[in-house]
């Protein structure tokens, strides 16, 4: 079952029904969710997977879950520590448990929920003004889509600043945790060292649905810096052994098994370019003038490309 429409109305996301009692909340342009989330009815418990980037979009996510399932949210899962997936935590009731891997909990505590990205909070208004100017000067639809996303992103940071109270998980797990319900079970699996120090996938074996968070981007360029591209490829191969048929990425539309192959192809293509540059003695500075290779040139988060290339170039240079 795949359906979308007026299941719940939010300016931040669109609800897509993946199965009876299983929903994805997918960011829509003009909102401040930025990332995606999941809502799962176990039968007598409601799970929410990730809580979006802002408390405002998190509040809509909570309302959507309570409306669709018909009861309060029992458990929130934080897939990893990056703020665009956890700043909605504070919108959930005080008695709602928040679960993450032990390492994700450690990173949220250590970084205060934003880490090196705290500068985004300090420079929020200036960054928003700059990207709005870029949007106004955009010359084609592709540029407007790229800059429009960053306007949503920066506006979300500005709107979050006055109300943000980072809420950390109150429960942790190690490696694997299974939720059993009268309607379905869900397996929470920790994968270390891929996108971040720890990334948790939520897999529904009965429906073969995988909520991947930022281990998978669809139609968006992934952020590779700070992670391990070789490990991401290994994780995608491991997830593929579960034979998921429906995959919910951290950013982008709901996809299928081909979306993992496209993500792998992106990493392998950029890594190949970096290795060739080193083999040919090409200077790293040329990266900033490189065009995004096909078939990735229309993917959103286009500004991640040079950063990813610099990261891969320096990574392979050290090896």
Q: What confidence score (pLDDT) does residue 299 get? A: 98
3-class secondary structure, 3: strand
* CA–CA separation, 300 and 220 (whole Å): 4
Q: What confidence score (pLDDT) does residue 118 get? A: 77
* CA–CA separation, 160 and 232 (whole Å): 30
Q: What confidence score (pLDDT) does residue 186 get? A: 98
Backbone φ, ψ for residue 24 (5° rounding): -115, 140
Q: Using CA of residue 158, residue 162, residue 168, residue 169, what is the dihedral sign? A: negative
Q: What confidence score (pLDDT) does residue 286 get? A: 97
Q: Using CA of residue 312, residue 231, residue 102, residue 260, what is the dihedral sign? A: positive
At 276-298, the pLDDT tens digits run 999 999 999 999 999 999 999 99
Q: Using CA of residue 2, residue 61, residue 26, residue 103, what is the dihedral sign? A: negative
Q: Using CA of residue 80, residue 84, residue 87, residue 92, what is the dihedral sign? A: negative
At 302-317, the pLDDT tens digits run 999 999 999 999 999 9
* CA–CA separation, 236 and 89 (whole Å): 27
At 87-136, the pLDDT tens digits run 999 999 999 999 999 999 999 999 887 876 677 788 889 999 999 999 99
* CA–CA separation, 186 and 36 (whole Å): 18
User: What contacts 224, CB < 8 A, 6 or more positions away?
Assistant: 232, 267, 270, 304, 307, 308, 311, 312
- Residues in the chain with pLDDT values less than 50: none
* Domain 3-318 bears CATH identifier 3.30.420.40: no
Backbone φ, ψ for residue 34 (5° rounding): 65, -50
Backbone φ, ψ for residue 80 (5° rounding): -160, 180
- Asked if residue 25 lies in contact with residue 65, where contact means CB atoms within 8 angstroms, the answer is no
3-class secondary structure, 203: strand
């Amino acid at each position: 079952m795949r359906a979308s429409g007026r299941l719940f109305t939010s300016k931040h996301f669109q609800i897509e029904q993946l199965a009876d009692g299983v929903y994805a909340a997918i960011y829509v342009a003009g909102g401040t969710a930025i990332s995606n989330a999941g809502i799962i009815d176990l039968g007598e418990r409601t799970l929410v997977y990730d809580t979006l980037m802002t408390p405002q979009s998190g509040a809509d996510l909570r309302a959507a879950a309570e409306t669709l399932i018909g009861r309060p949210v029992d458990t929130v899962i934080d897939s990893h520590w990056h703020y665009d997936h956890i700043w909605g935590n504070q919108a959930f009731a005080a008695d709602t448990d928040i679960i993450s891997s032990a390492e994700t909990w450690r990173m949220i505590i250590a970084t205060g929920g934003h880490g090196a990205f705290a500068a985004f909070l300090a420079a929020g208004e200036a960054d928003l003004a700059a990207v709005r100017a870029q949007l106004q000067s955009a010359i084609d639809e592709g540029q407007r889509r790229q800059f429009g996303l960053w306007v949503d992103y920066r506006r979300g940071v500005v709107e979050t600043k006055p109300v943000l109270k980072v809420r950390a998980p109150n429960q942790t797990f190690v490696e694997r945790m299974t939720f059993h319900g009268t309607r379905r079970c869900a397996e929470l699996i920790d994968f270390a060292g891929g996108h971040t120090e720890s990334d948790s996938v939520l897999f529904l074996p009965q429906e073969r649905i995988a909520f991947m968070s930022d281990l998978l981007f669809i139609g968006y360029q992934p952020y590779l810096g700070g992670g391990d591209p070789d490990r991401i490829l290994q994780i995608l191969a491991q997830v593929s052994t579960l034979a998921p048929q429906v995959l919910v990425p951290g950013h982008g539309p709901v996809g299928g098994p081909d979306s993992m192959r496209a993500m792998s192809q992106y990493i392998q293509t950029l890594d190949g370019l970096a290795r060739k540059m080193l083999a040919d003695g090409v200077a790293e500075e040329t990266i900033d003038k490189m065009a995004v290779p096909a078939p990735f040139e229309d993917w959103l988060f286009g500004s991640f490309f040079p950063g990813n290339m610099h990261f891969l170039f320096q990574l392979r240079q050290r090896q």
